[in-house]
Structure 1
Amino acid sequence: MVSTMKLSLGSRCVKYLMFIFNLLFVITGIILLSIGVTIQGVYYNYQHFLDNKFLSAPSLLIAIGTIIFFIAFFGCCGAVRENYCMIVTFTSLLVIVFILELSGGISGYVLRARASSIIQEKMKESIQQYQNNSEISTVWDNLQRDFHCCGTTNATDWVTIGHMKETNIPASCCMEITAPKNCTITSPTVQSTGCYNTFVSFIKSHAVQLGGVGLGIAFVQAIGIWFSVFLARSIRNSYETV
């Protein structure tokens, strides 16, 4: 009687804890989705300055966040029914999610390290296409207005790299334009800061967020894996006892 009573109380306790964990699990899924969508939106707006790998990292977080809602179903049903197979399935899926989150977190820090060289190369390539590509010209204008900068290192890049006239660089380089004057590299309102350093810092900060969220939630999932294994063993032991 004593051993049966202890098993029953332990089973109930584990079941309630499983529900709480699944609630936290769903919350982490929402966080991953939110962070992934936000950072992907930021990266997408400036994709001409970034490598495709920058877009794949937040996409991975979005995919993981979506999968989490599906996985939580097995956890809840397995806890309610005390179903060993469902709990094992839940644990196996948790391990997969854990590996994916580790990959997403690590890739965030890897991208942070590679950001400088990739962005500098992409900026130099795209600045040469400014006059012939309307899409790139729009991206550059938005970048210069949003970050209050001009050129890669400074305004002279539009002349030396972009092959534009000193008296007619992009209007987005100047803080204010008084018609009919054009923005020039000697205009008093021309932005003195280059876009490279400012934009690199911006991208690196988002890459750190990406990596931090991925690794942080992976730690939470590791606790979930341990907990689900404990629950599965408890259920199996109850079967053997009966």
Structure 2
Amino acid sequence: MRGYRGVKYTLFIFCYFLWVVSAVLIVVGIYAKVAKEKDVVDTLTVDPALLLIIVGSVMFLITFLGCFGALRNATCLLKTFLAFLAVILLLQTAAGVVGYLFTDMVMERTEKLMMKAIVRYREDQDLENAIDFIQKKFQCCGVEDYKDWSHNIYFQCLDTNPSLEACGVPFSCCIHLQNQTVLNTMCGYGMQQLGEPLARQNIFTIGCLEKIIWWAKNNLLLVAGLSGGLLLLEQVCMMSLAAAQISWIRKVQRQKKEPAAVKSGRKDSLWYPAFADFDDD
């Protein structure tokens, strides 16, 4: 009895936690979608706000099946929940294998996506903040180097460009001194006209793609540990708990099938109360 309750409520707690997380993702996605200006051009292949709503909705549905199925001992819901988890696990495994086998293609697509983000830098405030955060965090500038910013119409290094930021880079590329208290947003002006040795004294010249790859390689154990932990929690652990609960319910059904058929003359229901007792006796 205690073993069954442990399996049941452990699965319920896991699913409930992820159910709450999915609800938060949906709320954040809806807020971001509504709060965005209507005339903003979607810069990426998929709008991040829309992506949050879709991912959150799928998580909400799947974890709801797990919560309700575990609490009500409903084998039909638990089987559906288990099938969804199996499909997601297969998709994640396939994505990892494809990413490993076609690394060059993945890197090329990533580079194009990052370059597209640079081109649309000033058109989306959320994207602008994201790029500034990445360049500050990884101490980088552009995709391959700092001159990639010439692809942006505001920073394009042409004599015909009337922008005050022409031939410059965003302030997030600048090297800030430790004792600097006032942020100089004009620190990147004219940096594309300088050679790398001179520009390196004031801004980061290495591209963000190279810096992110370098960070991933140097933190491979951390990345692998987090990925493995999430996979173990979300997939293997919950799949095992769901399968164990289904197996336990089936066992009880088999034990009670013949006596119940004799007494009532009808089949047992596959739907049990929330606090039904499933003993080995």
- Same structural fold, with TM-score higher than 0.5 when normalized by the shorter chain: yes
Candidates 102, 111, 121, aligned match of 1:120: 111
> 2:85, 2:254 → 1: CA distance?
26
Which position in structure 2 is the counterpart of 1:141? 132
Task: Please tell me whether the aligned partners of residues 138 and 211 of structure 2 are also in contact (alpha carbons under 8 angstroms).
Answer: yes
Tell me the distance in 1 between the aligned counterparts of 2:78 and 2:168. 59
Contact 1:149 1:195 in 2 (8 A): yes
Paired residue for 2:205? 192
Task: Tell me the CA shift for residue 190 of structure 1.
Answer: 1.0
**RMSD of the TM alignment (CA)?**
4.4
Q: Which amino acid aligns with 2:67?
A: A
The match for 1:22 is: 8
1:203-231 per-position Cα deviation (integer Å, ceiling 9, x unaligned):
99899656762465322233234323322
Q: Counterpart of 1:157 in structure 2: which amino acid?
A: D
CA pair 207-106 structure 1, distance change in 2 beyond 3 A: farther
Alignment-mate amino acid for residue 223 of structure 1: S
Distance (Å, rounded) in 2 between the aligned partners of 1:148 and 1:194: 9
| Count of paired positions | 210
Output the TM-score relative to the length of structure 1. 0.62
Q: Using a 3 Å threshold, how does the CA distance of structure 1 residues 210 and 62 change in structure 2: closer, same or farther?
A: farther
The aligned runs of 1:76-155 (5 Å cut-off) are: 76-78=71-73, 86=74, 88-103=75-90, 105-106=92-93, 109=96, 110=98, 113=103, 115-130=106-121, 133-135=122-124, 138-139=128-129, 140-155=131-146
CA pair 154-200 structure 1, distance change in 2 beyond 3 A: same
Partner residue, 1:158: 149
User: Aligned partners of 1:97, 1:146: CA distance in 2, in Å?
Assistant: 36
The match for 1:5 is none
Q: How does 1:42-57 map to 2 (within 5 A)?
A: 48=43, 51-52=45-46
Q: Paired residue for 2:189? A: 182
Asked if the contact 1:74–1:90 (Cα under 8 Å) also holds between the matched residues in 2, the reply is yes
1:100 CA displacement = 3.9
Runs of at least 5 residues in structure 2 that lack an aligned partner in the other structure: 34-41, 160-165, 177-183, 260-281
Q: Which moved more, 1:217-226 or 1:178-187?
A: 178-187
Structure having the higher helix fraction is 1
Residue 215 of structure 2 is aligned to residue 229 of structure 1: no
> How do 1:65-84 and structure 2 match up within 5 A?
67-78=62-73
The alpha-carbon distance between structure 1 residues 182 and 212, as it changes in their structure 2 partners (threshold 3 A), is same
Instruction: Quote how far apart the aligned CAs of 1:121 are.
Output: 0.7
- 1:157-197 Cα deviation digits (max 9, x unpaired): 234x4432597312322224486883514342111221112
Query: Measured at CA, do residues 129 and 33 of structure 1 come closer, stay the same or move farther in structure 2, by a change above 3 Å?
Result: same
CA distance in 2, matches of 1:103, 1:195: 31
Counterpart of 2:275 in structure 1 is none
Instruction: Check whether the contact 2:168–2:190 (CA below 8 A) recurs between aligned residues.
Output: yes
Q: Which runs of 5+ in 1 are unaligned?
A: 1-12, 79-85
> One-letter code of the match for 1:218?
Q
Mapped partners of 2:81, 2:59: distance in 1: 11
Give the TM-score, by structure 2 length. Answer: 0.55
Matching residue of 1:170 = 169
Identity of aligned pairs, percent?
14
